[in-house]
Amino acid sequence: MVDVICDTNFLIHLATRRIKNLDNLDVEIGQVTFVVPQVVQNELSKLMKNPKKSNDIQSTLNYIRKFKVIPILGTFADKELLEYVSKNNAIIATMDKELKKQIKQYGSSVMSFSGNRIVLES
């Protein structure tokens, strides 16, 4: 079982879109568990205050309610995730192109979306 650390946009996409291969991930990629860094949970809570995003954010918060929250703290999720992968090999789930590039430079893997499917990039 591998923990996949999710960033904010990945979680919103996961919760609000139909992902074609979600049920087959264990076959395609292996046993994964999506985990939520505390800093991402904090960002989602702040986004709740934005009336344009509140529906998506509420759906996301409901969707991740049972996800394990891990103690990656700070004020800016991308920065904290990069700091984490600089010290630990990890899989980070993100859609942010710049973040993906930096994660790969540290030798970690990236999980992302391609055509409403979850893909693993290394």
The first and second tokens of residue 38, run together, are 């505390």
* pLDDT at residue 64, as a whole number: 96
CATH number at residue 89: 3.40.50.1010
For position 61, what pLDDT does the model report?
Answer: 96
Kindly report the number of other CB atoms within 10 A of residue 24's CB atom: 11
Q: What is the mean pLDDT of residues 70-90?
A: 94
Rounded CA gap, 74 and 83, in Å? 10
Cα separation, 69 vs 43, whole angstroms: 13
CA angle 18, 32, 89 (to 5 degrees): 120
Q: Count how many domains the chain has.
A: 1
What radius of gyration do the chain's Cα atoms show? 14
pLDDT at 122 over 80: no
pLDDT of residue 30: 83
The domain containing residue 98 runs over which residues?
A: 2-121
Q: Flag whether pLDDT at 114 surpasses 90.
A: yes
Checking if the pLDDT of 6 tops 90, the result is yes
pTM of the complete model beyond 0.75: yes
Q: Count Cβ neighbours within 10 Å for each residue of 58-72 and write b for 16 or more, e otherwise.
A: eebbeebeeeeebeb
Determine contact, residues 108/89, Cβ cutoff 8 Å. yes
What pLDDT digit, counting tens, does each position of 9-68 carry? 999 999 999 999 888 888 878 889 999 999 999 999 999 999 999 999 999 999 999 999
Question: What is the residue-averaged pLDDT of the chain?
Answer: 93
Residue 85 has pLDDT above 80, yes or no: yes
* pLDDT confidence of residue 119: 93
Angle value at C-alpha 25, between 20 and 26, nearest 5 degrees: 155
